[in-house]
Structures are given as C-alpha cells and as structure tokens.
Amino acid sequence: MHTFSRLLIKNILIIIIFISSVIGVSLYSLPILLKIEDRQQKRVIQTVSSSVDYQYRNENMPSDEVAHNIANVLKKTASYTYLSIKKKDGTVLYSNSTNQTLPIFYFFIPERNTMEMSLKNENILISYQLDYREHLTFFVTLIIYIMIMLISFILIMTWRKYKAQKKLFNIISDQIKHDLSMLNNVGAESDNEELESANTLVNIPELQNGIAEIKALMREQILNQSLLEKEASKDHLTGLESRNKFIQFYESEIVNESTIKFGVLLITRCSELQTINQVQGHNAGDSYLTKVAEIMQHVLVKRPFAKLYRLNGSDFATILPNEQLKTAEEYANTLTTRFNEYQLANEIDSVAFTGLVYFDNSQPLGELLALADTGVSIAQTHQTNAWYSQKESSIFNYDNHGHGNQNWRQEIDNVIEGKRIKLLLQQIQPTGRNAKVYGEVLSRFLNENDEVLPTASFIAMAEKLDKMVDVDKLIIETTISEIIDKNMLLNSFGINLSARSINDEHFMIWLERKLLREPLAAQHLIFEISEVGIQQNIRNSKRLVEMLHRIGSRVTVERFGLGMTSFKFFRELTPDYIKMDSSYTRNIDDDKNNQYFLRLMVDLAHRLGVNVLAESIESQEEKHTLEQLFVDGCQGFYVGKPQPLA
C-alpha cells in the first residue's frame, strides 16, 4: 500500500506529463492558428476595401476620409498593433500604432512581420500588424485554469483513493488476522458475521484466491511447526517429554502463579548405562533405558498429576506436584523394589539411583537440580538402587555438594583400603588362527555390604576427587595377584590405565618397580591407554610404552579414531594393538564409509606391525563384516559376555 505522499507524487508526475504534452501541442499549433488568422483578416480587409472603394467612387469622397472610414471598419473587425493607410506615392492618409510590448512569458511567440496590401483600382496601400495579445492571454489563462483544475482534481482523487485503499487494506488485514486466529485456535468458534462482512466488502475473486492460498500456506506452516515442536519435545527412545518441556513446565506451572504451590523433584540416574553400552552394546543400552522408563511410568499410574521427563542420556526427572516429601519417599521405595526385580532378572550390577528434594515456587530450578544431583551421588554410596532424600534441614544446614563428595571420598577410601574389588574378564575373539589376542579385565567395586557400586559413577568420582591413581594401583595389584594365585600364566590380560595415571611420574615409577618384581605376570599384561589420554602428554606416553616394552608387557591404544594422532607418531610409539572406537564398528555392515575407513586403517596398521581390534560387536553381521576387513580380533557382548576372572 502506497502512502498518501507517494500516491500524490505519482499522480502529480502523471499530470505534469499530460500538461507538458498539451503545452507542446499548443506551442506547435499556435503559429499555424495565427497564420490562419492573418489570412482571414486579409480577406476581411479586401472585403472592406471593396465596399469603401465603391462608396468612394459613387460619392466622390476625398482620399483621407476614405482612409479613415476603412480604418474605422477594420478596427471593428480586429485589433491592430499597427495600421497605416497611405498612397502609393508615400502620402500618409491614416496611421495608428501601439508600442505595448508582450510580457516576458510570451517568449515562445515568434516575431510578426508587417503585412501590406493595396486596394483594387485605387492608389492606396494598407500596412498592418494584428494584435493577438488577447488570443495569447486567453490561451495562457486557459492553460493555467486547466492546471488548477487538474491539480485540484488530483488532490481530491488522491485523497479519496488513499482512503479507499486504506479501508480496503484494513478490511483485508482484519480478514487475514481473523483467518490466522482461526488457524492458531483450531477449537475456537468462528465469528460468522464478521467473516461474512469481510467477504462482502472484499468481493474480489483474485483477492479471495490469494487469501485462500495464504491460509493454506500458513496452515501447512503451523502444522509443520507443531510437528517440529512435538519432535523436539519428545524423546524418541522412551517417548517421554524432553528437558526443554521440563524447564517450560517448571517455569510456567511452578514459578508463576498456578495450582502447584509445592512438591517434590526426583532425579533418577541409570547407573549402568555406560557399562552396558561398552560391554553389551548400544542396543542393549537402549533396551535398558526403555525398561527403566517403563518401570517409572508404571509406578506413576496411581499419580495422574505427576510428570516424568528424560533430561539427558542417563537421567530422568519426576515432578510430584503438591506432595510432601514423606509420600514421595513411598514412591522412591516402590521404584527401588521394581529396580531390584529388574536387576535380578537381567543379572546386572545395579539399575538406577534416585535423589529427592522438596520445592516450592520460590526456589530456582538450577538450585533444585544441584540438590537432587547431590542426592543421587549420596544414594550411590548406599545400597544398590537406593534413594536419598534431601531433608529441609539438610538443605539449609549443610553444603550438600560437599556432603555428597565427602560420602564418595569415604566410600572410595574404603574400597581402596579394604581392597573391595571384583574382577571380570571379557575375552577378545581372534578372527584368524595366527592372531594373538587377550581378555580385557573389567573392575567392579563393592561397598561395605559387598554390593556393587555403580562403576561409571565410581570412576567419575575417583577422577573428580583425585583418587584415580590409587584406583589404578588397586586394579593392577589385584589382577597380578589373581593371575599368580590362580596360575593363569598361559593367558594374556588387558588392564585399563587412566589418563591421569600415565601422566603421573610417581605412578610410572611405582608401575615399573611392580612389574620388575613380578616378571612372569608382566609378560602376560597388556595395558590399554585411550588415544585421547596419549595426546594429553605425548612425551610421557612414549616413555611409558618404552618402559612397558622393556619389561615385556604390551600396549593397546583403545578408542582409536577419536583423536588426531598421526601414524608417524604410532611408528615411533610402536603400540602392539589399536582398538577401534565403537563409533566405527557399530552397524558397520550397513555403513560403507566406515568399512572403507576401517579397511584403510587395517592395511596401514598391519604395515607397521600393529594388530587391529574391534569392540562393541552386537551382531553376527557386524562380526562377519569385520572378519572380511581382516580385523585381528573382535570384542563385544555378542562375542563373549564378561565372566568372573578364574
């Protein structure tokens, strides 16, 4: 829609072009009209002269009187700026002239010459010049009048058009707004009168078709947007609402004024997810998460107002609105019972741990999540699948984050001092007769009740509390003792070393002395170091590999492919094995890109004398594909389950 000023300027330009055309045509035709006027006046002079000549002959009038009579008659027929009547011998009988000059705006009129003609049968010569100032004044006045009328007409019509245009667009805008509101509120009733009025005022088929197309596009866009919002707010694996929906619910229903005045927030953490993914594969991990979600949903059936969300990979959040902490603890007890049943049926170390915290609408969400997370950490130091409730007194009287850390510190110290560790062995299956592989030692840590602590949480807290070096020492000492005591020197065993340990000078000295004291066991040990851990300190990593080779042990670079280590470095480092990260082996039977990459890695590694292993094998198809790619060994839940070290 044009503004009034733009519409006015547009119309004025059109009128200027029109007036310019009129003036141009007039300027071109005016001289022609004046010539026609001259011819007509010449005929008038001839007629008048003939009449006067007739009188002159019949009445014998003197020449000067004849001249005056002719002049009087001619003045009545036209205006002259110059009129002279004289004899042919030059005697002037009559003369009259006006010295008025034309105004400056008559510059476009060409200069006129004096016209002469003689009377028939008489010795009289008439000279004249017509005065056409009246014609010119009329012509200019007419043009000015036309311009004024046109400008007035433009102003009036422009304003009327602007008002009509504005009214039309307002009607169209109201109709579009109404239609869009109907699209946004599908269940709302339409205002039939308003819609009918709009359709009557805008009864233009093309416009109606355009509005219909806009409505169709908007309807499709709104539908796509709603589908995208549903997709983004849903967890595809469990079907639960996601973290974004959890935050929206808390801010809209709890922080703002609503019917929810208080309640309990529970964070439930699936403690075995990382272990199951590594040992059994990601499909088993997905099944594990799905089952935990189903258990929680089943327990919440009797609480129709409760809300369950999946926050991230391993964490679920439950909101019990308008419930006290005591009743929420009953829900937590039921969860523990169901988790214990699932644990026994599936032979896993634990299922999930839960932290509870009471809330009202005055507490920020971040603070509640931190308190609930601390509750989970404390629960993990208790019995299997336990829960821990953050009492109101503990919230205000203790540093809960430190309290959770202190519980873990004490638990880790108890494990190290009491050597409460259980070792499992997962064999790597060779793909050829000449392939030399080993079994990977997996550690499980026990609390004072001989219940297995969540392994991933235990390792994470040991890293956080700077206890990882001591944990690695415990694993190495226990493994060597088991090998010697059970006389298992015919096999080889892989032990994981943390990045913190391989960068610790005192640990390297301790490890060298320990292996030198146990030379028979040292020859059967393969130490697994992650590629990322090697990159943290390449110099120390090289020293460690050289020391282990000197003593007779071997080295595996695990989770290979995640870092940026070059093969030039591997040629200098000379590891004995590389274990490809599971992201390259998962579903490799369907992934041509990973097949090509792995084939290239196997060829290069074999040229350097390095054996290639694959982990997280979950199906026969994956195993067969890896064998076709000449991988030296396969590890995974499909190939072999972890068994007690014996």
Strands (E), 17-153: 80-87, 92-97, 115-118, 124-130
C-alpha 359/C-alpha 261 separation (Å) is 9
Classify residue 209: in a domain, yes or no.
Answer: no
Average pLDDT score over the chain: 81
C-alpha 513/C-alpha 493 separation (Å) is 19
Question: Shortest CA distance to 423 belongs to which of 491, 467, 477?
Answer: 477
- Same domain assignment for residues 296 and 331: yes
Pairwise pLDDT comparison (18 vs 484), residue with the higher score: 484
Pairwise pLDDT comparison (608 vs 24), residue with the higher score: 608
Give alpha helix (H) positions in 185-241.
192-201, 205-233
pLDDT for res 124 = 74
pLDDT for res 566 = 61
pLDDT for res 232 = 67
Classify residue 238: in a domain, yes or no.
Answer: no
Pairwise pLDDT comparison (452 vs 150), residue with the higher score: 452
Residue 586, token pair as written in the block: 């998962």
Q: 601-623 b/e with 16+ CB inside 10 Å = b?
A: bbeebeeeebbbbbbbbbbeebb
Kindly report which listed range (197-201, 421-425, 542-546) carries the lowest average pLDDT score: 197-201
Pairwise pLDDT comparison (447 vs 38), residue with the higher score: 447
Pairwise pLDDT comparison (289 vs 212), residue with the higher score: 289
- Same domain assignment for residues 465 and 390: no
Report the chain's C-alpha Rg in angstroms: 53
- Residue 267 CA to its chain's centroid (Å): 30
C-alpha 348/C-alpha 326 separation (Å) is 30
505-517 and 538-551 helices, crossing angle to 10° = 10
- Same domain assignment for residues 46 and 177: yes
CA distances 245 to 18, 227, 241, Å, are 66, 15, 6
CA distances 528 to 189, 508, 544, Å, are 68, 15, 12
pLDDT for res 492 = 95
pLDDT for res 518 = 94
Find the CATH number of the domain harbouring 284.
Answer: 3.30.70.270
Classify residue 492: in a domain, yes or no.
Answer: yes
Residue 119 has pLDDT above 70, yes or no: no
C-alpha 208/C-alpha 139 separation (Å) is 50
Mean pLDDT score, 66-73 = 76
Question: Which pLDDT tens digit goes with each residue over 35-61?
Answer: 777 777 777 777 776 666 665 555 556
Strands 633-634 and 611-614: parallel
Kindly report which listed range (178-192, 391-405, 493-507, 601-615) carries the lowest average pLDDT score: 391-405
400-418 and 365-379 helices, crossing angle to 10° = 20
- Same domain assignment for residues 447 and 372: no
- Same domain assignment for residues 350 and 428: no
Classify residue 187: in a domain, yes or no.
Answer: yes
Residue 568 has pLDDT above 70, yes or no: no
8-state DSSP, 450:
S
- Cβ atoms of 442 and 495 within 8 Å: the answer is no
Question: Which pLDDT tens digit goes with each residue over 507-516?
Answer: 999 999 999 9
The count of other CB atoms within 10 Å of the CB of residue 48 is 20
Q: Where does a domain end: 175, 202, 229? A: 202
Residue type, 481: S
pLDDT for res 102 = 55
Find the CATH number of the domain harbouring 492.
Answer: 3.20.20.450
- Same domain assignment for residues 191 and 313: no
SS3 label, residue 384:
coil
The count of other CB atoms within 10 Å of the CB of residue 291 is 17
- Same domain assignment for residues 364 and 420: no
Classify residue 224: in a domain, yes or no.
Answer: no
Classify residue 543: in a domain, yes or no.
Answer: yes
- Same domain assignment for residues 349 and 428: no
Residue 483, token pair as written in the block: 């090998």
- Cβ atoms of 335 and 268 within 8 Å: the answer is yes
Q: Where does a domain end: 169, 202, 235? A: 202
pLDDT for res 469 = 95
SS3 label, residue 500:
helix
Pairwise pLDDT comparison (517 vs 465), residue with the higher score: 517
pLDDT for res 113 = 63
Question: Which pLDDT tens digit goes with each residue over 267-325?
Answer: 999 988 888 887 888 888 899 999 999 999 999 998 988 999 999 889 999 999 989 98
Residue 186 has pLDDT above 60, yes or no: no
Classify residue 421: in a domain, yes or no.
Answer: yes
pLDDT for res 352 = 93
C-alpha 266/C-alpha 245 separation (Å) is 16
C-alpha 264/C-alpha 266 separation (Å) is 7
- Cβ atoms of 389 and 297 within 8 Å: the answer is no
Residue 384, token pair as written in the block: 């299997």
Domain that holds residue 304: 243-398
Beta bridge partners of 97: 82
Query: Total domain count for the chain?
Result: 3
C-alpha 615/C-alpha 416 separation (Å) is 29
Residue 588 has pLDDT above 80, yes or no: yes
Pairwise pLDDT comparison (423 vs 205), residue with the higher score: 423
- Same domain assignment for residues 324 and 446: no
Mean pLDDT score, 17-36 = 74
Question: Shortest CA distance to 526 belongs to which of 610, 598, 604, 437?
Answer: 437
Question: Shortest CA distance to 37 belongs to which of 131, 101, 116, 102?
Answer: 131
Classify residue 249: in a domain, yes or no.
Answer: yes
Question: Which pLDDT tens digit goes with each residue over 372-425?
Answer: 888 888 888 777 888 988 765 444 444 444 545 678 888 999 999 999 999 999
Pairwise pLDDT comparison (537 vs 614), residue with the higher score: 614
Mean pLDDT score, 438-453 = 91
Residue 587, token pair as written in the block: 């579903």
Residue 564 has pLDDT above 70, yes or no: no
C-alpha 501/C-alpha 642 separation (Å) is 25
- Same domain assignment for residues 474 and 358: no
**In this prediction, what percent of the chain has a pLDDT beyond 70?**
82
> How would residue 620 be classed by pLDDT, with cut points 50, 70 and 90?
very high
Mean pLDDT score, 532-546 = 86
- Same domain assignment for residues 10 and 159: yes
Question: Shortest CA distance to 288 belongs to which of 317, 319, 314?
Answer: 314
Residue 427, token pair as written in the block: 């064999």
Mean pLDDT score, 170-191 = 61
Beta bridge partners of 370: none
C-alpha 260/C-alpha 244 separation (Å) is 19
Query: Following DSSP, what letter does each residue of 399-427 receive, concatenated?
Result: -HHHHHHHHHHHHHHHHHHHT-EEEEEEE
- Cβ atoms of 18 and 150 within 8 Å: the answer is yes
- Same domain assignment for residues 133 and 255: no
Residue 516, token pair as written in the block: 């030198």
Q: 425-453 b/e with 16+ CB inside 10 Å = b?
A: bbbbbbbeeebebbbbbbbbbbbeeeebb
Residue 322, token pair as written in the block: 């308008």
> How would residue 357 be classed by pLDDT, with cut points 50, 70 and 90?
very high
CA distances 527 to 33, 271, 328, 495, 598, Å, are 116, 26, 46, 5, 23
Instruction: Please classify residue 149 by burial: count the beta carbons closer than 10 Å to its beta carbon, then call 0-12 exposed, 13-18 middle and 19+ buried.
Output: exposed
pLDDT for res 455 = 85
Whole-model pTM? 0.57
Question: Shortest CA distance to 598 belongs to which of 280, 621, 586, 215?
Answer: 586
Strands 577-580 and 611-614: parallel
> How would residue 80 be classed by pLDDT, with cut points 50, 70 and 90?
confident
Q: Where does a domain end: 398, 433, 451? A: 398
Pairwise pLDDT comparison (85 vs 105), residue with the higher score: 85
Mean pLDDT score, 156-166 = 77
Question: Shortest CA distance to 445 belongs to which of 482, 481, 474?
Answer: 474
pLDDT for res 398 = 41
Mean pLDDT score, 453-482 = 90
pLDDT for res 463 = 86
Question: Shortest CA distance to 599 belongs to which of 625, 563, 623, 566?
Answer: 625
